[in-house]
Structure formats: structure tokens, C-alpha cells
Structure 1
Amino acid sequence: MVHVDSAWTILLNIINQPNIIFVVRDYVNATSFALKTNKYVGSRTDHPEQLQLVDRYDSLQQRFQYNHSLFPDKLRDLKGREVIIAYFDYRPYTVMKYVKKNIYGSLVASFKSSRNNIRNIGVPETSDQAYVYIDGTETRVVLNFCAQFNCTLQIDTSDANDWGTIYPNISGDGALGMIVNHKADISIGAMYSWYDDYTYLDLSMYLVRSGITCLVPAPKRLTSWYLPVQPFQTTLWAAVLLCLSIETIGLVLAHRSEQHLYLANRVENIWLRSLAFGLVTTFKLFISQAGNSNVRSVTVRVLLFACFLNDIIISSIYGGGLASILTIPSMGEAADTLERLRAYKLQWAANSEAWVSSIRSSDDLKVRELLENFHIYDDHELLVLAHKANMGFTVERLPFGNYLTGPDIEQMVIMQEDLYYQYTVAFVPRLWPLLERFNQLIYCWHSSGFDKYWEYRVVADNLNVQIQKQVENTIISRRQNDIGIEPVTLGMANFAGILLVWVLGALAAITVFALEFVAANLSGDLVPK
């Protein structure tokens, strides 16, 4: 008695393996043996598991009757055998459009190629979704494979709502689950070479390189209260402060010498008076204000003139820089590199765990920090968050410069580098007999250069080219450092920083006046007449 599981395994092998030989004899002591093989080719409705006679072997004469090849090449012409793809729409890798029917129930030839109108066996044949037009950079590889080896391509969308997962009990869901459950022969659509799935399935040669990157919020305009310090860089401000310090020291020493020369120590606190003179005069000259001190010596006069010339040059440079900043706003930094994305702790999201499954097992602490800020939302939630939340959204960077974009990118820029990259493959069942021929076709496809042409062609036909240009423009703009540098109309926001300085100065003056008033009142200097 044959176990049920064993019988099912034998039947699957007869259906799915081309090179099977059965040795059959008519009775127990027969000396002639019939060598039979499964049909394999042809439609599944024609029963490819049927056995066909290949040759007969006479053990007494030790010769074959027909001298036929015992293992003929059945894969050269599959004679319409069905190849089923676990298919879902993920452009530009896989594109699916439903084919409309006219009032007589016939398919409308509204698409470019009738060979792309494929039966969807995941729905009843009477359904409006029974026939679909398929296209895509990876789909075209399978289409050309079936054209070369005469197989009938079909798709099954019944469970292929996502990439899917395979579980340790050799079951699964999604597109990958359809392969392990023997519902499909091949799964494509940005399938990365995931090791966990490779333990249960076979994978083809790589199809394309796919980089995972993020759309991040565009750099924001710097807050206006930084405005007074923006014209000079930090090093230049340090040089200005050093110059003013030298001026102050020079004026203090010159004023002290003048007081000693003309007043001969008849004034108390000469050093304190000289220090006050140096500080106040330097500050007044720096802001282009006139002083009210009487200067007698030529030395102090020459020094004041030199300080005035120096400060007027600094003030002119500062004024020119401030004028340019007022009309051409300064922008902050976007989290467009891995280091900035990690340092800013920017939250980022995708619609599936498959976007990060390749780096989940990474030991890199930086990668782990990035994954702590990763979240999964459905497509509707991602669209809502794209307009409200300050976060990044995963996109794919195709090998020849195009992008798979999801949320609105009006206020976003693409990262300058990839989070990581992977090579996409096609997943097939273990010991799939067509895998070697499929890999040979992929070799020819890469060497011919069609991969680049197909990417641009499919993107132009099935994706929003305007969005592709917008994404590309964000890259070009950052390379030229011209994001947001268009002149703008001045408003009150442009002067918030200057007004802040004025308010702080007024508050400081009022505070000092109040303190002086209180101190004079306490000391009795304020005596009414």
C-alpha cells in the first residue's frame, strides 16, 4: 500500500519533472522491458502526466528495440504547457491592467500586444478580471521566455496580495506562499534574494539591482531669529571679536597714557575710567555711532581714526551679507544621508516588512538604530502621513536612475545615498526543470542591454514621468546647492531677528536704568531741591 503523501509526491514529480523513466514488464519472469516516460509537455488539460513508450529493452539479446534517446529534450518545445506566475501589480517590475470586453463578450484589443493579454486563473473565467494585460521589466523576461520555449503564460492573483512569507512548517502566504503551496511556478516583482526563503525555494540569477532609499522632508528655512548672526561664519565672528578686543586694549592704554600726561594723576580711578572709555568707544564705533569724549592727544585721535576705518569696513561687509540673506533665505539640512537620518532620529515608514527584512539580522549598531525608527503602515495611512507627519518614506532606486515613489513628494527630497541595496530574483519551486533555461535567457538579456531600454520604456508607459522628473530635480538642486534660494518678497518674518535684538537691547537698557535709579536712591544721591 502506498502512503497518501508518497502518492501525492510521486504524482507531482510526474507532472512537474520532465526526465523520468519507468521500467515496466508485462509479467514477473518477463525478459522484455518497456521503458516509458511522462509526457510533460502540452497543456495540463491534455494530461502531461501520461506515460509514453520510449523504447523496449530485450535482456536476453541485450539490445534496445528502437534505439531512441531515453531522455529526450522535452524543454526545447513545451507545446503550450502552462507556466503560472504568482502576480501582483508592483510597477515597473510587474504591471497589471484589466482587459475590457465589448458588448459581445470579446476582448477589446486596446493594448499594444495581444500576447500580453493573459488569463488570470485566480478568478472565474466569466469574471471581468479573467483576462489582464501584463507588462513590466521583470514580466518581459518571462514573456520572452515563453515565446522562446512555446509555453502558455498564466497568472494567479488569488493569494498574491504581497510578497508574502514562508513559515517553518513549509506553508506560506502571499506570492511566495503560492510557490511553496504548488499554486504557481514562478514569483517575480522585486523579490530580493532573502536567505530565509531560499531555504525552501530556488531562486534564479539576479534580475536587477534595487536600492532602498527614502523620501525625506525637504530642508526648512532657518529660523529668522538667527538672522543677525548669519552674515558671518563662526570663524569670522571670532576674528571680529579678536579685532574689537585689540581695539579696546589699544584705546584703554592710549586713554590711560593721555590721562597720566595731562591730568598727572589728579583724577581718581584712572584705570576704571580708561576701561570704560575703551569699551564704550569701541562699541560705538562698531555700530557707527559718534562718541562724546574730549580727546587731547594726537595718539588717541589717530588710533580712533584707524579704529573707525576698520569698523566701517566690517560694518559694510556685514550689511552686504545681511542684505543678501534677507532676500535669499538660508535653508537648513535635510536628513538625506545615513548619518543625518540616524542623528536626527527621523521616523521612516513603509507598507511591508519586506522593505527591511534583508537588514533585520544586521549586527551594525547604526543599522539597528535606524530600524528602531522604522514603522509599518498601510497605503492609505502612508498617504495621510505624507501630508501631515514629518517623516521619511521608503522608495526603490532602480538601476538606471528611476524611482518607485508612493506618497506625495511636493515637500520632500530623495536621499543622496541608499539605506542598502539588494539584487532581485525570481523564486521558483525546488528542482524546477526550467530554471537553467530561464537563467540562460537572463544572461542574454543583461548582455544585450535590453534591461536599460525596458526600464525606461516601462517607466514611461506605466509610471508618472512628472514625478520621476521631480525626484531627479531634487538631486540636481542639491548638487548645485540651490534649493530654495529664489529671491522672496520681504515680510515681517525677515526682521524678527533684528527686532529681537532691539527688544533685548531695550530691556537691558531699562534694567540698567532701574538698577542705577535704585542704587542712587539708596545712596542718597537723589536729593530733591
Structure 2
Amino acid sequence: MSGDGALGMVIQHKADICIGAMYSWSEDYTYLDLSVYLVRSGITCLVPAPLRIASWHLPLEPFQKPLWAAILLCLFIEAIGLILAYKSEQELYVPPKNPGGWWTCTKFGISTTFKLFISQSGKSKANSLTVRLLLLVCFLNDLIITSIYGGGLASILTVPSMDEAADTVQRLRLHRLQWAANSEAWVSAIRGSDESLVRDLLYNFHIYSDDQLLRLAQEQRVHIGFTVERLPFGHFAVGNYLVPQAIDQLIIMKDDLYFQYTVAFVPRLWPLLDQFNSMIYSWHSSGLDKYWEDRVVGDNLNLKIQKQLEETMSKNKGDIGPNMLGMSNFAGIILVWILGSIVAMLSFSLELIYFNLKVIK
């Protein structure tokens, strides 16, 4: 109310009417009169787009946890069956002087189970029909499991799985995403709210200058959200700091943080207020509000950016087709291979140490 701004000019009678991105603020109603509503203004955010899931647990993605548990149980049953079958074969076909003990049977059952599971051959010789049939059944069972797993892994690699984006109010709060604007006016309507959700959102809100926001938007990877105004007929009012390369990394939220109706502020007891309200009613009923929004957007806003914002809405729906594979797709598989190689090298080293000590003794 210093008189330097639009509202101050109305109070000091330097202007008769103030129209802009101004809501029905109760504090200002103490000094000024309000017109009927002009447009619905929704405040939402452009938030970082979800990243593709490519991590060490990617090889585990084809099956859900209950299915993995069922597969481990199946392998355990196969191993027990092979151990018992091989033990009975040793008692029937091996001479009494060289019977195979339980440790030998256990090694055969466990190693053969995992060899069949990863489609590897073994050098063990089966003499009894029971062991041969059991090996055939286990092989067919593991062949079906590995085929299903291979198909599921292929679909995950070619059709990307995305992590969760902060594209709703609840997710914005859950992710604790920092979001920013260039003025307190973006949140002044909700600043005094008692809701815990609103307080948590405001805790992560920051005010930066346009130059600071431009630098944040030009980073190689955008990590914060930017406030935008959702206009009534599908357009968005965005700041000049949101450059096209930044919007490529962002998506529009599915819902609004909040919305209010914009009004015009006039001096107290302004004699033309009734006529002005009547004109606004006629303006709405004739459809001029939609025409005027299209005209203003076409004349004053960047249509390329408007198109980009519309495309982010399709990203928000998960409309993502197959992608070319890259090294990030195999990060999890390579990590498993590296860990397996390390374990194998350690096991081989322990075996060398054990047998060397055994020879020395």
C-alpha cells in the first residue's frame, strides 16, 4: 500500500481500476472494492520429469516378490528331490566299498539344480531311471521359468519403466521437492492456511529473481519445480526464465496447488462498479473470455513453449514408446556380473590357500 504498485495507485486515486493477476484477497477488501470474477486462475507447477529406472535391481524387475519366493521354493524342492534320488541311486548302483555320502549327494543336488536353472550342462552320470526322469522334469520346469523371465526382462529393457514424479500435490509433499517463483504473490493466498499439507508445501517454497530462476532452468539437469498459471481454457502463463531446454526436462502437474478467481480492484463506492459488473457478465455469456484468452496467448506468449507444455501432459500419462537400448539399461546386469566375478575370484583364492596348507601339512 505504498502507492508505487497498482493497488496503491487505486487507493491514492491515481487510477480508477486495477486488473491483473489479482485474487479476492481479504486483506485488500479492507481498503478496496472488488468486482465479480474475471477468470479462474489455477496455480500449478512444472516439476522434473520422471527418470528411467536403470539400477542394480533391474534384473529383479521381471518378477514380483511373491513369484521370486515361489521360484526359490521350487528350486529348494528340486534340490531336495535330487539329493534323495541321488542318495538312493548310490545305494543301489554303487559298490558298497565306495558309497557316496550325504555330503556328496548334497553337492550333486544343489549344483545340478542351479546348473539347470541357468541352462548349464553337468558332467555327473546318472545311472537310475529315477534320477534321469527327475533331471528331465527339472530341466523342463527351469526352461519354462527362464523363458518367461527372458521375455519379461526384454519388455522392461525396451519399454522403459519410470520412477514416480512429483506430479500431484501429495507427491510434491512426499518427495519434498523444492519449488520456486519470482514473487510472494504466487503463494500469498495460501500463506495463512492451517492445513499441514499446505504448510509442508510452503516450507519447500523459495523466491528467486528472474536471473536466478533462469540459471536454475539452464542447468544440465533441473532439480526444482517452477510455478506456472493454468488459464481457464487450456493455456499456461509462464515466466521468460522457463526456456525450451528446461521445459524438455519438466512435466506439468496433474492438479493445481490451489486456484482462485481473479477480480478487478476499484476504489470504495466507485460509481461505475455496477455497470462494470454487468459488462463482465455479458463478456462471459458471449464467449469473449475464451476468444480473448486465445488472442492474448497468440499475440504475447511463445506458442512453441505452449506446445511443449501440452506435450508434457502426455508424458505425465506415461505415453512412452520403446526406446533404443543404452549402457544404462545394463547397469544392473553388469553390476551382478562384477559381483559374481569378485565372489568367484575370492572363492578360487580360498581354495588355493586351503589346498596349499593341506599339502604343507
Larger CA deviation: 325-334 vs 446-455:
325-334
Q: Does 1:232 align with 2:63?
A: yes
- Alignment match, 2:225: 392
CA distance in 1, matches of 2:298, 2:51: 32
CA distance in 1, matches of 2:91, 2:284: 91
Quick check: 2:178–2:204 contact (8 Å CA) kept in 1? Answer: yes
CA distance in 1, matches of 2:224, 2:213: 10
Q: Match for 1:482: what amino acid?
A: D
- Alignment match, 1:487: 323
- Alignment match, 1:415: 253
- 3-state SS of paired residue (1:495): helix
CA distance in 1, matches of 2:91, 2:160: 52
Quick check: 2:19–2:263 contact (8 Å CA) kept in 1? Answer: yes
CA distance in 1, matches of 2:169, 2:351: 55
- Structure 1 residues not aligned, in runs of 5+: 1-165
Q: Does 1:466 align with 2:304?
A: yes
Pick 1 or 2: higher relative contact order, CA cutoff 8 A, min separation 6: 2
- Alignment match, 1:425: 263
Give the TM-score taking structure 2 as reference length.
0.89
CA distance in 2, matches of 1:249, 1:180: 88
Aligned counterparts, 1:180-219, within 5 A: 180-219=11-50
Give, in angstroms, the shift of residue 297 of structure 1: 2.4
CA distance in 2, matches of 1:418, 1:338: 8
- Alignment match, 2:288: 450
Decide which of 338, 341, 349 is 1:506's aligned counterpart: 341
Are the structure 2 counterparts of residues 367 and 268 from structure 1 closer, same or farther at C-alpha, using a change threshold of 3 Å? farther
Give, in angstroms, the shift of residue 496 of structure 1: 3.0
Quick check: 2:54–2:328 contact (8 Å CA) kept in 1? Answer: no
CA distance in 2, matches of 1:370, 1:241: 44
CA distance in 2, matches of 1:463, 1:323: 43
Q: Does 1:309 align with 2:140?
A: yes
Aligned counterparts, 1:125-524, within 5 A: 166=1, 171=2, 173-262=4-93, 270-388=101-219, 389-406=222-239, 407-408=242-243, 409-479=247-317, 481-483=318-320, 485-488=321-324, 490-522=325-357, 524=358
Quick check: 1:259–1:265 contact (8 Å CA) kept in 2? Answer: no
Give, in angstroms, the shift of residue 260 of structure 1: 4.6
Quick check: 2:63–2:149 contact (8 Å CA) kept in 1? Answer: yes
Give, in angstroms, the shift of residue 336 of structure 1: 1.0
Q: Match for 1:242: what amino acid?
A: L
Are the structure 2 counterparts of residues 363 and 518 from structure 1 closer, same or farther at C-alpha, using a change threshold of 3 Å? same
- 3-state SS of paired residue (1:323): helix
- Structure 2 residues not aligned, in runs of 5+: none
- Counting aligned pairs with the same residue, the percent is 65
Give, in angstroms, the shift of residue 419 of structure 1: 0.9
CA distance in 2, matches of 1:414, 1:284: 50
Are the structure 2 counterparts of residues 470 and 288 from structure 1 closer, same or farther at C-alpha, using a change threshold of 3 Å? same
Q: Match for 2:323: what amino acid?
A: P
Give, in angstroms, the shift of residue 264 of structure 1: 9.2
Are the structure 2 counterparts of residues 429 and 264 from structure 1 closer, same or farther at C-alpha, using a change threshold of 3 Å? farther
**Root-mean-square deviation (Å):** 2.4
1:37-59 CA distance string (max 9 Å, x none) = xxxxxxxxxxxxxxxxxxxxxxx
- 3-state SS of paired residue (1:225): coil
**Number of equivalences:** 354
CA distance in 2, matches of 1:249, 1:199: 83
CA distance in 2, matches of 1:297, 1:383: 76
CA distance in 1, matches of 2:3, 2:138: 81
- 3-state SS of paired residue (2:339): helix
CA distance in 1, matches of 2:256, 2:77: 50
1:293-339 CA distance string (max 9 Å, x none) = 22222222212111111211222222233334444443322211122
Greater fraction helix: 2
- 3-state SS of paired residue (1:205): coil
Bigger CA radius of gyration: 1
CA distance in 2, matches of 1:298, 1:213: 71
Give, in angstroms, the shift of residue 402 of structure 1: 0.9
Give the TM-score taking structure 1 as reference length.
0.62
Are the structure 2 counterparts of residues 239 and 422 from structure 1 closer, same or farther at C-alpha, using a change threshold of 3 Å? farther
Give, in angstroms, the shift of residue 375 of structure 1: 0.4
